Structure 1
């Protein structure tokens, strides 16, 4: 999956967080999480 496809598929997801408390955009969090899972992460400490 290329980055453009990932962006297209996940751009419809609404960010429920309060905008004043957002440090990282939702896309960055989702992409980092996907990369971690692909790399074999099994939990938050990985």
Structure 2
């Protein structure tokens, strides 16, 4: 299946792929919730940046939750 970004592009600050990939990595490493996901991304921010992800900033945990919850 294809995951489509339902958000309005003019109001989008964070790339859907970045949030999904960061969340997947975090959960694979044992993250149990939105706060853990953000903490994982923060802890590995240098790696993500070297790979072209989260170049500007990392979304707050409630933002991650809101983005993920828009996926049908």
2:10 pairs with 7, 17, 20, which one?
20
With normalisation by structure 2, the TM-score equals 0.45
Deviation at 1:42, TM superposition (A): 0.3
- State the shift of 1:21 in Å: 1.1
The secondary structure found in structure 1 opposite 2:22 is helix
Paired residue for 1:34, among 24, 49, 56? Answer: 24
Segments of structure 2 that go 5 or more residues without pairing to the other structure are 37-72
CA separation in 1, counterparts of 2:24 and 2:33?
A: 12
Q: What's the RMSD between the two structures over aligned residues?
A: 1.4
Measure how far apart 1:16 and its partner are.
0.1
Aligned residues: 36
